[in-house]
């Protein structure tokens, strides 16, 4: 459609959404931060600009909007196109199921596959009582908050290396009034958690490989690099967590960790470890390992292509040269 032939008001909400989707496709936007289609992204942004709740009934779509409202919606569409920022950074909110979280560019936009497992109370994996849990690499605090909702009697530590991310997590914890149950801790993986033991550790660490980081689409480049990159093969953080988790789990404790597309590489790196992969509602690979399957002496087998090794502090703690740990 030429510029002159574009529809102009009066607009219905449905018409605005169609127009937004058309513009998004023409601009080759990428989705994956809460929506997966141009129509859904346009509907989400239109509702947000109009101040409508996401569960507004479909019949409202035929409603005509006033010119200033249409201007707001079209303005938000333009901002999405010109900045290429994920919608969540424009609206400052992200949703996991019915749970809303404040977000800005200090944290990755929440989309962890572990969230769906927590909605189900981590069944069938978590069978015993969860009194203490750790969310390692907490970012916005979203998984720590879902942990607190799933396990009502639990106290939770939520750790991250990024001070900026912890500030966002603090805001979300306050919004959910969970300050008494969730403790936010600045920590390089387990370094500030010496002597702490948990019934459950969940982690969605950074796991993007060096090659994938170089190919990142523009939308993803707005997210903190610290939240994505993890060495040459993307598994530096995951390896370090696997090596140290047993020392921080109580007997019978469980580690639940997301690893992106690193499943096969991780299995090859830990040939003696019995891996169990949970089927998640979103189809992502999430590792579930009991403390007993995770002997403290577990050591990764050197992997040729990995040169990044353990993050320096983790390497120091395990007393291993980073090249020996990662190959």
Q: How far apart are CA 230 and CA 265, in angstroms?
A: 14
Residue 306 to residue 285: CA distance in whole angstroms: 20
Residue 234 found at the interface with ligand SAM (CB under 6 A): no
173 lies in the binding site for ligand SAM (CB under 6 A): no
CB 201 within 8 A of CB 11: no
Closest CB 19 distance from ligand SAM, rounded Å: 32
Cβ neighbours of 174 (radius 10 Å): 13
How distant is the alpha carbon of residue 168 from its chain centre?
14
Q: Which residues pair with 278 in a beta bridge?
A: 286
Q: By C-beta, is 79 or 188 nearer to ligand SAM?
A: 188
242 is an interface residue for ligand SAM by CB under 6 A: no
The residue within the footprint of ligand SAM, chosen from 148, 161, 193, 246 (CB under 6 A), is 161
Pairing of strands 249-258, 182-186: unpaired
- d(CA 33, CA 41) in angstroms, rounded, equals 9
CB of 204 to ligand SAM, least distance (A): 4
223 and 108 in contact (C-beta within 8 Å)? yes
Pick the piece of the chain touching ligand SAM (CB under 6 A) from 131-139, 269-277, 278-286, 296-304. Answer: 131-139
Tell the smallest beta-carbon distance from residue 3 to ligand SAM (Å): 39
Work out whether 243 is an interface residue with ligand SAM (CB under 6 A): no
Among the listed residues 216, 212, 268, the one whose alpha carbon sits nearest the alpha carbon of residue 239: 268
Radius of gyration of the chain (CA): 22
Contacts with ligand SAM, 249-288, as mask; x by CB under 6 A: ----------------------------------------
- Residue 140 binding ligand SAM, by CB under 6 A: yes
Candidate residues 16, 137, 150, 315; the one interacting with ligand SAM per rule CB under 6 A = 137
**Residue of 74, 200, 227, 310 interacting with ligand SAM (CB under 6 A):** 227
Tell whether residue 110 is a contact of ligand SAM (CB under 6 A): yes
Q: Which of 50, 77, 138, 254 binds ligand SAM (CB under 6 A)?
A: 138
In the stretch 182-221, what mask flags binding to ligand SAM with x, by CB under 6 A? Answer: -----xxx--------------xxx---------------
286 contacts 324 by C-beta, under 8 angstroms: no
For ligand SAM, the closer CB: 244 or 291: 244
- CB nearer ligand SAM, residue 70 or residue 257: 257
How is residue 178 written in tokens?
């969970």
Under the binding rule (CB under 6 A), the answer on residue 108 touching ligand SAM is yes
Q: Looking at 27, 226, 298, 324, which residue binds ligand SAM (CB under 6 A)?
A: 226
Give contact residues for ligand SAM (rule: CB under 6 A): 107-108, 110, 112, 137-140, 142-143, 159-162, 165, 187-189, 204-206, 226-227, 237, 311
């Amino acid at each position: 459609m030429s510029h002159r032939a574009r529809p102009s008001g009066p607009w219905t909400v449905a018409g605005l959404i169609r127009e937004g989707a058309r513009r998004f496709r023409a601009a080759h936007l990428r989705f994956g931060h809460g929506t997966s289609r141009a129509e859904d992204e346009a509907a989400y942004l239109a509702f947000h600009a109009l101040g409508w709740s996401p569960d507004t009934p479909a019949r409202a779509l035929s409603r005509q909007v006033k010119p200033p409202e249409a201007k707001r919606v079209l303005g938000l569409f333009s901002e999405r196109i010109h900045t290429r920022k994920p919608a969540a950074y424009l609206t400052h909110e992200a949703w996991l199921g019915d749970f809303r979280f404040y977000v800005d560019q200090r944290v990755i936009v929440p989309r962890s596959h572990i969230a769906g497992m927590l909605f189900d109370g981590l069944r069938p994996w978590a069978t015993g009582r969860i009194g203490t849990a750790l969310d390692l690499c907490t970012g916005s605090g979203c998984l720590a908050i879902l942990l607190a909702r799933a396990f009502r009697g639990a106290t939770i530590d939520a750790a991250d290396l990024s001070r900026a991310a912890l500030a966002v997590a603090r805001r979300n914890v306050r919004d959910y009034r969970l300050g008494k149950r969730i403790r936010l801790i600045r920590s390089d993986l387990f370094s500030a958690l010496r002597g702490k033991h948990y019934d459950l550790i969940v982690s969605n660490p950074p796991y993007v490989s060096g090659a994938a980081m170089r190919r990142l689409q523009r939308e993803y480049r707005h997210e903190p690099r610290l939240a994505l990159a993890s060495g040459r093969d993307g598994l530096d953080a995951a390896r370090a967590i696997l090596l140290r988790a047993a020392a921080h789990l109580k007997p019978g404790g469980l580690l639940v960790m997301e690893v992106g597309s690193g499943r096969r590489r991780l299995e090859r790196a830990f040939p003696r470890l019995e891996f169990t992969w949970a089927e998640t509602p979103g189809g992502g690979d999430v590792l579930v390992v009991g403390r007993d399957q995770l002997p403290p002496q577990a050591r990764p087998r050197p992997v040729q292509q990995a040169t990044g090794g353990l993050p320096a502090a983790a390497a120091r703690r395990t007393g291993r040269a980073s090249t020996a740990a990662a190959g």
